[in-house]
Amino acid sequence: MAEPKLRFKRDDGSDYPEWGKKSFKDSFIALNNNSFSRDMLNFDNGIVKNIHYGDILIKFGDICNIGKDIIPFVNSEYNTEKYDLLKDGDIILADTAEDEAVGKTIEIFNVRNNKVISGLHTIACRPITKYASKYLGYYMNSPSFHDQLRPFMQGIKVTSIGRKNISEVQICSPKVIDEQQKIAVFLSAVDEVIAESEKEVTNLDTQKKSVMKKIFSQEIRFKRNDGMDFPEWKNKTLGDLEGKVSSGKDKNENGCVPLYGSMGPIGTCSEATHLGNKILVARVGANAGAVRLVVEDCGVTDNTLIIKDTESCDFFWLYYALVEKDIGKMRFGGGQPLVTGTMLFTLEIEVPCLEEQKLVADFLSDFDEAIAAAKKELSLWKQLKKALLQQLFI
């Protein structure tokens, strides 16, 4: 039998035996799940917790810590007695998704005195033989296992898999639980680092938002180098600052020039129609009012408003001022919320003198650099885990 690229050894340095292989149907017994929709659940009170497939796909990692993760309760008016209560070591697959994330799996951990059932669009199973804690959660999210599910994925807009279809899928594992445990402990340690990195990104972002609020409400003020106060801020419009607002018009086509929408690059175009610094504002749709700073030459799509560089203020300060202004709250319309160029041109902003603008912009730019560095580190750890999942399993 093939071996994974990375193998642990026994504590005395000797090799573990070859791995074993069993079919899915010979590895698990099926558990009863329910079909409770989101409106039948709540986060405030209840007796029985419910694992919804959407949370498996989006919120939970490989391991669902029942005592720690936020899991909704079934509303008290619904009967849950006919559904199997989950135990530590049980696994749940999401059998429906909008893409090939279908089959995403969680292993249940730390149930203790909680009552938990498996919900809508899930396949809940209990191992017939004992596995090391957390091993199955990591293995069943590895490419080695998930790639076996691809032939059974059905659908176009929504992808699904069925219990019968995956009955012959193979479950591979070390024959010795001690080796399984070493794999699980190692990947758990990586997960802990990833969680700390995510926490650092969140904390930095929260700190930045808090500081921005205090700066633009003038609760915090910068001072001159000699310790003297800067002049009072003045109420002005973007028009007063000589800002120029226009609409993008470029289309997604083959080319070597990046094409931007308000939320970031979305493709390429043949010509850089907008040079230098620019602030992009989403003009229409659910993201109307979202603000993004772009410094590279590029094309811009027609659902985006463009604010050009102005000599009357520091352009980077203006970007932060518009972010804090929360333009999205000013949009109008029902099904297709809208922000217009006229709205931006007449938007009133409290403006400090140019010298204080630069100090504000530099200070917030340092925050952005710290956030970017933290996100880069997080990305590297996630890439490492992805590589480990490819090399630790077969």
pLDDT tens digits for range 341-367 = 888 889 999 999 999 999 999 999 999
Residue 260 in tokens: 């931007």
For the stretch 81-125, pLDDT in tens is 999 999 999 999 999 999 999 999 999 999 999 999 999 999 999
Alpha helices (H) in the chain, listed in sequence order = 24-27, 53-58, 135-139, 143-149, 177-216, 315-325, 341-345, 354-391
- Where does the pLDDT of residue 238 fall: very low under 50, low under 70, confident under 90, or very high at 90 and above? confident
Q: Is the pLDDT of residue 233 over 90?
A: yes
Level-2 CATH architecture, domain 19-173 = Alpha-Beta Complex (3.90)
Q: What fold, for 234-351? A: Adenine-n6-DNA-methyltransferase TaqI; Chain A, domain 2 (3.90.220)
In DSSP terms, 229 is beta-bridged to 223
Per-residue pLDDT, 393: 97
Q: Which residue has the tokens 């997960």?
A: 191
Per-residue pLDDT, 154: 92
In DSSP terms, 298 is beta-bridged to 274
Q: Is the pLDDT of residue 334 over 90?
A: no
Per-residue pLDDT, 245: 87
pTM of the model: 0.88
DSSP assignment, residue 150? G
Per-residue pLDDT, 98: 92
- Where does the pLDDT of residue 1 fall: very low under 50, low under 70, confident under 90, or very high at 90 and above? confident
Per-residue pLDDT, 149: 96
Residues 34 and 120: beta-carbon distance below 8 Å: yes
Separation in Å, CA 367 to CA 205, 206, 219, 383: 8, 11, 18, 24
